[in-house]
Amino acid sequence: MNLRAFEYLLALEKQGGFHKAADACHVSQPALSIQIKKLEEELGIQLLERGTKGFFFTPAGKEVLERARIVMQQVAEVEELSKVWNDPYAGQLSIGAFPTLAPYYFPQIIDHLVDCYPSLQVNLIEEKTHVLIERLKAGTIDAAFLALPEEHIELDSGIIFSEEFYVGVGPGHPLAKRKTITSEKLSTEKLLLLEEGHCLRKEALEYCATAGIGEVLNFRASSMETLLQMISMGRAVSLIPNCVAKRNPHLRYLKLKGGGAERTIALFWRKSSVRKDLMLELVDDLSREYDK
């Protein structure tokens, strides 16, 4: 069975057409079609139902497609394994982080990664948490910084740091001269949170529930930058993690009396990763670097 046929099959699904799939695989359209036809003949089943307006995968084709995806991922892991055995600290390393962490934490660590791992080509990716988890499991990224708790049977993790949340207010806000705030006082303010899908929203809601703060969430922002601008204008207040606060000193930050609002960041990777030892070293290295 030719692995190239699996590659063509996956490209066909991704590109949605024979011409685009052939271009993506750098072969002619007839060559790609012939290879898939040979696979059908070899297996004795029809993988595609072809028509004048295109094609679609048969039920058998969908089953083969899923197994082809697993096979090609394993092939990629074997190729990566050979590179790692030659030099585990060389080659590409793709690391993701979610939007309320990536712009604030990546700048802190990129110079350190480049200096300490000069043979690694580090690719930094920003995506929402659920996308990062999907990409981790699919093998399209090597690791991701995620906020705990996250439990996935396919993934291992190591804690990098924990940080507290402050209440961010604009410089002209009535609370701006305070250094601390109680949960009772916070419950009387217009609390701005990020929209659904951001883990920072979930963390803030968990604190509100624990502190007995009801639904006083009058606004929702689509990004951290929007949230910070709204706070700066005095429209609302919000819970801001320490790494964001350090990079936005134009706002005022009040410490929560009694604490209780924090997040813990961990590095996640696949249990099957050929770079497990490197991941463990990164956890040790970056957690110590954060404590400096």
Q: Are residues 190 and 230 in the same domain?
A: yes
- Average pLDDT of span 62-89: 82
Say if residue 216's pLDDT is above 60. no
Pairing of strands 238-241, 155-169: antiparallel
Specify the CATH number for the domain of residue 133: 3.40.190.10
Contact 217, 193 (CB under 8 A): yes
Q: Of 116-125, 169-178, 227-236, which gets the smallest average pLDDT?
A: 227-236
Say if residue 217's pLDDT is above 60. no
Q: Are residues 68 and 122 in the same domain?
A: no
Q: Are residues 7 and 69 in the same domain?
A: yes
Please identify which residue in the block is written with the tokens 């297996």: 43
Q: Are residues 172 and 189 in the same domain?
A: yes
Helix (H, G, I), strand (E, B) or coil at 197: coil
- Which of 38, 63, 84 represents a domain boundary (last residue)? 84
One-letter amino acid of 226: T
Q: Are residues 51 and 75 in the same domain?
A: yes
188: phi then psi, degrees, rounded to nearest 5: -95, -5
What predicted TM-score, i.e. pTM, was given to this entire model? 0.69
pLDDT confidence band for 230 (50 / 70 / 90): confident
Number of domains in the chain: 3
Q: Are residues 187 and 259 in the same domain?
A: yes
- Which of 52, 67, 84 represents a domain boundary (last residue)? 84
Say if residue 200's pLDDT is above 80. no
Contact 130, 100 (CB under 8 A): no
- Average pLDDT of span 231-248: 88
Specify the CATH number for the domain of residue 258: 3.40.190.290
Cβ contacts of residue 269 below 8 Å, gap of 6+? Answer: 136, 142, 143, 144, 155, 156, 157, 275, 276, 279
- Which of 84, 118, 138 represents a domain boundary (last residue)? 84
Helix (H, G, I), strand (E, B) or coil at 167: strand
Cβ contacts of residue 55 below 8 Å, gap of 6+? Answer: 18, 48, 49
CA 120 from centroid of its chain's CA atoms: 20
Say if residue 95's pLDDT is above 90. yes
pLDDT confidence band for 266 (50 / 70 / 90): very high
Q: Are residues 171 and 151 in the same domain?
A: no
Give the pLDDT confidence score for residue 197 in this predicted structure. 57
Give the pLDDT confidence score for residue 215 in this predicted structure. 45
Q: Are residues 166 and 147 in the same domain?
A: no
- Most distant CA pair in the chain, distance: 77
- Average pLDDT of span 2-18: 89
Q: Are residues 235 and 143 in the same domain?
A: no
pLDDT confidence band for 218 (50 / 70 / 90): low
Say if residue 213's pLDDT is above 70. no
pLDDT confidence band for 285 (50 / 70 / 90): very high
Summarised one tens digit per residue, pLDDT across range 115-172 is: 998 888 899 999 999 999 999 999 899 999 999 989 899 999 999 999 999 999 999 9
pLDDT confidence band for 198 (50 / 70 / 90): low
pLDDT confidence band for 261 (50 / 70 / 90): confident
Q: Are residues 259 and 176 in the same domain?
A: yes
- The percent of residues above 90 in pLDDT, for the chain, comes to 47
Please identify which residue in the block is written with the tokens 């197994």: 67
Q: Among the ranges 59-73, 178-192, 198-212, which has the highest mean pLDDT value?
A: 59-73
Instruction: Tell me the average pLDDT of the chain.
Output: 87
Q: Are residues 74 and 93 in the same domain?
A: no
Q: Give the domain extent around 140.
A: 87-160+264-291
Q: Are residues 250 and 202 in the same domain?
A: yes
164: phi then psi, degrees, rounded to nearest 5: -90, 160
Contact 26, 57 (CB under 8 A): no
Cα-based distances in Å from 4 to 30, 63, 83: 14, 18, 21
Q: Is the dihedral of CA 197, 200, 201, 205 positive or negative?
A: positive
Pairing of strands 262-270, 143-147: antiparallel
CA 110 from centroid of its chain's CA atoms: 17
Give the pLDDT confidence score for residue 153 in this predicted structure. 93
**E strands, the chain, in order:** 48-51, 54-57, 91-97, 120-126, 143-147, 155-169, 180-181, 192-194, 219-221, 238-241, 252-256, 262-270
Burial readout 183-194 (b: 16 or more C-beta within 10 A, e: otherwise) = beebeebebbbb
Contact 236, 192 (CB under 8 A): yes
The DSSP string of 270-283 is: ETT-TTHHHHHHHH
Specify the CATH number for the domain of residue 46: 1.10.10.10
